[in-house]
Amino acid sequence: MHAADLLTNRSRLTPDREALLFLDTGERFTYGELNARANRAANYMRALGVQPGDRVSILAQNSVVYLDLFYGLAKIGAIFAPLNWRLTAAELTYIVNDCEPAVLICSAEFSDVLEAMRPEILVEHLVSLEGANIPGAESYEEGVTAARPIEPEQPPLDGDTPYCILYTSGTTGKPKGAVLPHRQILWNCINTVVSWGLSENDVTPVLTPMFHAGGLFAFLTPLFYIGGRVLLARGFDAETSLRAIVEERCTVILGVPTLFQMWLDTTYFDEADFSHVHFFISGGAPLPVPLVKAWRAQKDVVFRQGYGLTEVGPNCFSMTDAESFVKVGSVGKPIFHSEMRLLNPETGLGVPVGETGELLIKGPHVCLGYWRNPEATAGSLRDGWFHTGDMARI
């Protein structure tokens, strides 16, 4: 089962329901409007000659265009390959030469970075975003405006068709492109909705970069799947985002420990009313217990710790509200449609309860491997089990 119709089907069911608020401009979009935008993006990319399996990259901060491409490219069987704008020109050059996008879309903020990359990369189509001055590039806005908003003809797709490529940080070597198939996108939605108890009434802010699995998959795609509402911010500002969470009555809020500390330190925190929030969840790094205690002491909120990886999705465990108070620091129990094992990395044998072992994960939410890197794929994926390299204890 593929995931190319997720936004199409949601817009068919609830076309007039508000799906997105872009905080930087105040623009609000219904599901029908977002699907029409995705169709325009798909038809524009096809007019540029993008074929099934081709990669399309974007170098820009968060914007609605990410959603246009994420959902639109899937409709034509192309692969979304966003670029981490925090990297250097040299690092980005390596990634572009590795994934070889047919189209590279760049905003004005990063036109200088792209200019430094150009002597070393070969991209058929350079496309400017938001008026970026890029010699020889065509305008994304003009291209999508000229494109039709109708559903594009869909090529043959299945669950293992690549949907996107997200590059890991490369802390132990060159960045690796994790290839996420359609089934992984779909099952992340299903697992998150079922395991975290999401509904169409939930509202979440997306404050982390959309080149990252957390920004795309933690709550954004699951809530679009179930028909909820998303607040999207171009970048992070502590006070502005905290006010938006309160004013728009967000119900599930993802952050990293640094964000939660910054919110705690704002002048607005004392007056902020979180009575509408079902839970806060922290990921990306271990959540300091003193930080949880500080939030609970002042606001009496439900605070959970998450765990995930690009290769297996951001939401691999779940916990109840009661468990979050009893087991501070725990990531909870494995999500619904998933298998977990703990192995002794030296013996390859399972470890008993109470002992530490390497976490292995298996399920339909596991990636295909790494782009053009069979050695790394073989090292991490064995008999369907993804070896995380992380140590855990039951």
* CB of 250 closer than 8 Å to CB of 283: no
Query: Which of 43-47, 163-167, 172-176, 340-344 has the weakest average pLDDT?
Result: 172-176
* CB of 149 closer than 8 Å to CB of 36: yes
Query: What pLDDT was estimated at residue 103?
Result: 99
- Read off the pTM: 0.95
Same fold, 6-21+28-180 and 187-336: yes
Query: What pLDDT was estimated at residue 14?
Result: 99
For 51-100, the pLDDT digits (tens) are 999 999 999 999 999 999 999 999 999 999 999 999 999 999 999 999 99
Query: What pLDDT was estimated at residue 330?
Result: 78
Helix, strand, coil proportions of the chain in percent (round to 5)? Answer: 35, 25, 40
* CB of 35 closer than 8 Å to CB of 11: yes
* CB of 389 closer than 8 Å to CB of 358: yes
Give the sign of the dihedral formed by CA 322, CA 330, CA 392, CA 180: positive
| Parallel/antiparallel/unpaired status of strands 18-22 and 27-30 | antiparallel
Q: What is the CATH number of domain 187-336?
A: 3.40.50.980
* pLDDT reading at 173 higher than 90: no
Identity (one letter) of the amino acid at 306?
G
Q: Which two tokens stand for residue 28?
A: 């609000």
Architecture of domain 6-21+28-180: 3-Layer(aba) Sandwich (3.40)
* pLDDT reading at 170 higher than 70: no
* pLDDT reading at 175 higher than 70: yes
**What is the length of the chain?**
394
Could you tell me the residue ranges of all domains in the chain?
6-21+28-180, 187-336
Q: Confidence class of residue 105 from pLDDT cuts 50, 70 and 90?
A: very high
Q: Confidence class of residue 319 from pLDDT cuts 50, 70 and 90?
A: confident
For 229-278, the pLDDT digits (tens) are 999 999 999 999 999 999 999 999 999 999 999 999 999 999 999 999 99
* pLDDT reading at 373 higher than 80: yes
Burial of 132 (0-12, 13-18, 19+ CB in 10 A): buried
Strand ranges in 78-120 using DSSP code E only, listed in sequence order: 79-80, 103-107
